[in-house]
Amino acid sequence: MAHLNETLTRIRYRIWPDHVVGEILSKPWMETAIPVLVLVATFAILSWLVPGFFTFAQLSIIAREGGELGFIVLGLSIVIMAGGVDLSVGSIFAVTNFIVLLLMHEYEWSAAPAVAVTILAGMALGAVNGILIGYLRLRAFLTTLITLIIFRAVYEIWTADHATAIAMSLPDSATWDFLGIGLIRGIPVNVWLFAAVALACHVLLTRLRPGWHLMAIGGSRRAAYNAGIAVRRTIALTYVASGGLTAIAAIFFGARLASVGGNIGVGMEVTALTAAVLGGITLGGGRGSVTKAIVGLAIVLIITNGMTAYSASGGAIRMTLAAILVAAAVIDIRWIKNRHRIISSVYVSPDYLYLPPPPSCEAKPGNAWAVNDTLRGVDVIGLGEVEGPEDVILDRNDNLYSGSRHGDIVRFLAPDYKRMEIFAHIGGQPLGLAFDREDNLNVCVGGMGLYQVSPAGEVRKLTDETNRSWTSVNDDSRLRLADDLDIADDGRIFFSEATRRYEMSEYAVDALESRPAGRIICHDPRTGSTRTVIDRLRFPNGISMCDDGQSFLFAQTSAASVSRYWFDGPKKGRIEVLIDNLPGYPDNINKASDGNYWVALVGMRGPALDLAMRMPGFRKRMTQRLPFDEWMFPNINNGCVFKINLEGKVLYSLWDPQGINHPMITSMREHKGWLYLGGLSNNRIGRYKLPESEADPAYVQYARRWGLPT
Amino acid sequence: MIAALRSFRDRLLGRGDAACTVPVFDGVLKPNHALDRATAWAGVSDPADMACDGKRLLVAAGERVLEIDPAEPAQPREVFHASGRITAIAAFAGGIAIGVEGLAVRIHGGRFDGTRWTSACGQPFKCVNAIAANGDTLLVCDASRHNGPEDWQRDLMERRSSGRIVRLDPASGQELLLAEKLAYPFGVAVEPDGSLLFPESWKHRVVRLAPGKHPEPVLENLPGYPSRLVPAQGGGFWLTVFACRTQLVEFILRERKYREIMMATIAPELWPAPQLRPPHSFLEPLQGGGIKQMGVLKPWAPPRSYGLVVRLDAGGRIRRSLHSRVDGSNHGVVAAAAIGQALFCLSVGADAVLRLDAEPAQGDGA
């Protein structure tokens, strides 16, 4: 039964891509997707409740109304995104509606100057808000509440005097009538204009400097000020924009209805605010888009028209909108507050991984894995000076190089390695190292990509991206954790990226997932191109060229295996597993002087974790319930170095059993009869004298690789 | 129905019983190095329990009882050899009372020499892991009906609560069941008013049982698993805490399927479960905080094993704590004895009897 269960588990984790959920949720467009879903749902429900409601004629009416309200929503959204709020839009709407009707009906202006003056008037009314809030630093809420009352009072005084005159006369202007009822290609003229303005706003907010300033101010007013943005002016201008856009809405409204009734614009701020917040524009600023505003607008229009068709009263509609506003605001606040937690709790998605029981490391005669204490008494270089030498390498002058967690390449000078100097500063943590024919040091840098350091210490980026894979939700072209490399005879650099899902500091989370999220990439310096050559590997690592010049060895740390890949020759494209089911997790691989290969085991497998690897749900709950420091880990306090031949036979292994001198071994490099040891979380480099019978005392990897005399 | 819903909600949100939180070492439990700085008084291999007859220390080590002089450090002297592993020891009526393999209680020497029990109150002993003398009677902890003393981790992982405490009267032959269905009682002591004090290890608490009353907890929510208690100078008790709780173990205790497969297929010393000895094999599970950074094992790492002894006052409140942290080795303290100004602790992890000053010296931070 347990067996069947496990088979089901394996199939379920092979078929269902758990990690996609987290990746989709962390997409920026997810925040627009939710309002869109609400829109679709509202649409579906209303077409079901009100048969024949969504005919073309009805939609056209809704669109014309939307073309008016839309300008207001757009203006209000801009204000909100900059961190403010404009409650006076309803009153500005009423006043500008009055002004345009006054000019057209009573003073009988022609349409063009009337429209221009009205828009200027709207901007002037907005400027009142803008000056008070932007320059005099009054609270947006109170200020616009006051101007709401004042503008409304002005409107009522003026209409008392002019209502009759406006109602008595009719302007004789074809342009004016066209604004009110005109269609272009069957679609109301104001919808066309709204589309154009919305597109312009979108470009402004996402592509132009003023838009970025505006979003920056909404995100953090103080930071924007410190960054040198003209905060006061920008804020003032948002209210001017809001007033102007409201005036445009009022012009279309006036042209259509020619009404100066008492309730014009009443409650409009609630409708517009509901649309903006429902679309996902956060009250408080810094987040939002034109798309969101339009989606919110569409939802509100459908609801109000649907309720009207259902013969709901205006009060009921406003009450509904207010309720929706509160609900949307609450959801928005909770979402922003918990978004990070929700994503992080679903992002980690462990995979099913079965590893058979590992070979025993008992100290029995004939056991190549027999634990010994050979590495207990090794010489120590740079104790306390070097931090995190993941890989070590020697040049042909015997100088010793390693990375450090400070983002440096450090160099210990031959012959005694007592003096340390900083060879180059890169910034990210250097991992794998390899010299090319021209003595350049090629480096895989965690979080940065593939870099090259010249013999003079100049740092140059080779590549930080590869081709994007078709099946990935996230853009995985950017390199996140390049970790080891080697160079082919023709100069092509093959390097591994351990995972595309996590950063350097989170490598352990990827190990816990054990998902095939890593890849091996080829950078060709002749063309400057970078292509992924092997995908879907479990923490690939330890690239080491074979002598045939057509293949290299690589390790898959999480899968506890070492494989060989042919990139040229008759077997081109083939991958063969050299050895699997290792007793630990392999890391770097490097050539030994006798033609075999050294492999480092960064940590050892244990039965408790091996069992957890077969229970992805268990691991998932573990990541959700426990803090990082409490998670069950591979035992990376203990490791070993072993030698393997190309037939996959393990020859012998070297150990530091309790990890007393070398708690973690991530790499080793043989040089002139010595074996140099590096470790990602160590504060030292080890140096072990190989027995004469097992090592060539003249061996220099550079010379062997590039065939030059030493 | 509501309980089922609540349990579902708890499991979904990690609340209530599903929460794997562990109390922190705070206040009087603030960690120190007192146990690590203690003098190693005598080395003993495979120790299980320690008793004191007022003049000498008696340590149960494997099948032997060793005598240790509390005044002068000297080689331990074997005074008795039992037929099986000794799991509990107490000085009693001029002789000693021992638990053998958890299955029997025997008296050796003194007035009741040769008396022997293999069951009490009609039920055979399974897990005798602590004995205390109370006048002319013996108080015996039979910690589990299911698992012997060696299988204490399995008892924890099976979430058992099947222990009992019995009183044996060798003079009259009377056997009295004092308490049952206990979550691993691992030690018992008598208070001056005659009530009993005993720990329930798996419930992380110490319980008082007054005559004629219901048991009531006096100390709850301990960050570790309490074990034996001995009277301290000036009232109160020394309580040994043989291992500390970790969130990982609490989590695994809520993962039935994992525990079942683990118990069926993996050796107990490799379980993610509390241990008495510091890790010595790379096959043992490691937790994130336990990764050596720059060659240093952090003392705050999640403790797989830990050394902790706390001083309780007469009211059961903690007054002082002695620690051996994760980077130390005097772990798994299962028994203590206070003689004069000295406190002796039996550390399984160090295979040694440790000696400290029972009262804190100025500025030792303990």
Question: DSSP characters for A457-516?
Answer: --EEEEESB-PPPTT-SS---B-SBEEEEEE-TTS-EEEEES-SSS-GGGHHHHHHHT-S
Size of interface A-B (CB pairs under 8 A): 114
Helix, strand, or coil (residue A600): strand
- Rounded Cα distance between A452 and A462, Å, is 6
Give the integer Cα–Cα distance in Å for B94 and A77. Answer: 90
Domain spanning A374-466+477-706, CATH class:
mainly beta
Q: A599's torsion region: left (phi>0), alpha (psi -120 to 50) or beta?
A: beta
The residues on A that touch B, with CB distances below 8 Å, are 2, 387, 508, 603-609, 611-612, 615, 618, 621-622, 624-638, 657-659, 663-664, 681-684
Cβ atoms of A701 and A674 closer than 8 Å: no
End-to-end CA distance of chain B: 49
Q: What are phi and psi of A329, to 5 degrees?
A: -65, -40
Alpha-carbon gap, residue A393 to A402, rounded angstroms: 7
Q: Tell me, what's the pLDDT at B366?
A: 47
Q: By C-alpha distance, which of A486, A484, A435 is closest to A708? A: A435
Bridge partners (DSSP) listed for residue A545: A552
Q: Phi and psi at residue A57, in whole multiples of 5°?
A: -60, -45
Distance from CA of B140 to the nearest CA of A (A): 35
Q: Which residues from chain A sit within 8 angstroms of residue B286, using beta carbons?
A: 603, 606, 632-637
- B26, HSE (Cβ side, Cα atoms, 13 Å): 4
| CATH fit for domain A14-344, picks 1.20.81, 1.10.3470, 1.10.1200, 1.10.150 | 1.10.3470
Segment-wise mean pLDDT, segments of 10 residues, chain A, 710 residues: 75 86 81 84 82 75 87 95 93 93 86 92 95 93 94 91 82 82 83 93 92 92 92 95 95 86 84 89 87 91 84 83 86 82 84 94 90 89 92 94 95 93 94 94 94 96 92 87 94 95 89 93 95 95 93 96 96 95 95 94 94 94 90 89 95 88 89 93 92 90 75
Q: Which tens digit of pLDDT belongs to each residue from B174-206?
A: 999 999 999 999 999 999 999 999 999 999 999
* Contact of A8 with A16, CB cutoff 8 Å: no
Residue B278 has pLDDT above 70, yes or no: yes
Q: Tell me what pLDDT residue A516 has.
A: 93
Is residue A395 within 8 A of residue A435, CB to CB? The reply is: yes
Beta strand pairing call for B57-61 and B64-68: antiparallel
B327 at A interface, C-beta within 8 A: no
User: Which CATH number applies to B22-277+301-357: 3.40.50.720, 2.120.10.30, 3.30.365.10, 3.40.50.300?
Assistant: 2.120.10.30
Say if the Cβ atoms of B270 and A611 lie within 8 Å.
no
ipTM over 0.90: yes
b/e string for A410-433 if b means 16 or more Cβ within 10 A? bbbeeeebeebeebbebebbbbbb
For B112-144, what is each residue's pLDDT tens digit?
999 999 999 999 999 999 999 999 999 999 999
Per residue, the 3-state secondary structure of B221-259, as one string, reads CCCEEEEEEEECCCCCEEEEEEEECCHHHHHHCCCHHHH
**A634–chain B nearest CA distance, Å:** 6
Kindly determine whether residue B251 and residue A611, on different chains, have CB atoms separated by under 8 Å: no
Question: Count of CB atoms within 10 A of residue A362's CB?
Answer: 9
Inform me whether the C-beta atom of residue B153 falls under 8 Å from chain A C-beta atoms.
no
Mean pLDDT of chain B: 92
* pLDDT over 50 at B365, yes or no: no
Q: Which residues of B touch A618 (CB under 8 A)?
A: 255, 257-258
What gap in Å lies between CA A434 and CA A391, rounded to an integer?
10
> How many angstroms separate the CA of residue B113 from the nearest CA in chain A?
47
Q: How far is CA B63 from CA A296, B46, B81, B132, in A?
A: 80, 9, 6, 19
Q: Which residue has the tokens 């853009």?
A: A475
CB B308 within 8 A of CB B240: yes
CA geometry: angle at A703 spanning A700 and A705, to 5°?
105
Contact A606 B285 (CB under 8 A): yes
Q: Give the best residue of B283, B284, B293, B300 to mutate against chain A (max A CB count within 10 A).
A: B283
- Confidence grade of residue B248 (pLDDT, cut at 50, 70, 90): very high
Q: Residue B168: is its pLDDT beyond 80?
A: yes
What's the confidence (pLDDT) of residue B157?
96
Which residue bears the tokens 């509100």? A300
Distance CA A550, CA A143 (A): 74
CB–CB of B261 and A2 under 8 A? yes
Sign of CA dihedral A541, A542, A546, A550: positive
| Side-chain-facing half-sphere of A489: CA atoms under 13 Å | 10
- pLDDT given for residue A90 in this prediction: 93
Where along chain A do its domains lie?
14-344, 374-466+477-706
Strand runs labelled E in A597-705: 597-604, 632-633, 640-644, 650-655, 667-671, 674-678, 685-689
Distance from CA of A451 to the nearest CA of B (A): 26
| Residue matched to tokens 């589309």 | A195
* The residue to which tokens 């400057």 are assigned: A528
| Residues A520 and A466: beta-carbon distance below 8 Å | no
The CA dihedral of A266, A269, A272, A276, to the nearest 10 degrees, is: -170
Contact yes or no for B104/B117 (Cβ under 8 A):
yes
Whole-prediction pTM value?
Answer: 0.83
Q: How many other C-beta atoms lie within 10 A of the C-beta of residue B333? A: 31
- Here the tokens at position A599 are 């492999």
Tallying the residues shown for chain B, one arrives at 366
Spatial contact of A598 and A604, defined as CB atoms under 8 Å apart: no
* Distant-in-sequence, close-in-space partners of A253: CB < 8 Å, separation ≥ 6: A68, A93, A97, A264
B27 inside 8 A of chain A by CB: no
Identify the sign of the CA torsion A220, A226, A228, A233. Answer: positive
**Secondary structure class of A335 (helix, strand, coil):** helix
Determine if the peptide bond prior to A415 is cis (ω within 30°): yes
Structure confidence at residue B363 (pLDDT): 47
Cα angle, residue A141 at apex, residues A140 and A142 outer, rounded to 5°: 95
Question: Whole-angstrom Cα distance, residue B193 to residue B61?
Answer: 33
CA-wise closest residue to A246 among A100, A155, A65, A123:
A123
- CA–CA distance, A635 with A511 (Å, rounded to integer): 12
Write the CA distances from A162 to A99, A121, B135, integer angstroms: 10, 18, 109
How far apart CA A265 and CA A152 sit, in angstroms, is 9
Q: Phi first, then psi: what are they for A157, rounded to 5°?
A: -60, -50
In terms of Cβ atoms closer than 10 Å to its own Cβ (0-12, 13-18, 19+), residue A546 is middle
Q: Among positive and negative, which fits the CA dihedral A651, A656, A658, A663?
A: negative
Closest Cβ opposite residue A608 in set B247, B271, B293: B271
Q: Which two tokens stand for residue A283?
A: 């009250």
pLDDT reported for residue A417: 94
CA distance B58 to B64: 10
Cα dist. B68→A288, B61, B100, B219 in Å? 77, 12, 21, 32
Segment B329-335 mean pLDDT: 96
Which pLDDT does position A178 carry in this prediction? 84
* Gap between the Cα atoms of B97 and B229, Å rounded: 17
Predicted local distance difference test score (pLDDT) of residue A709: 54
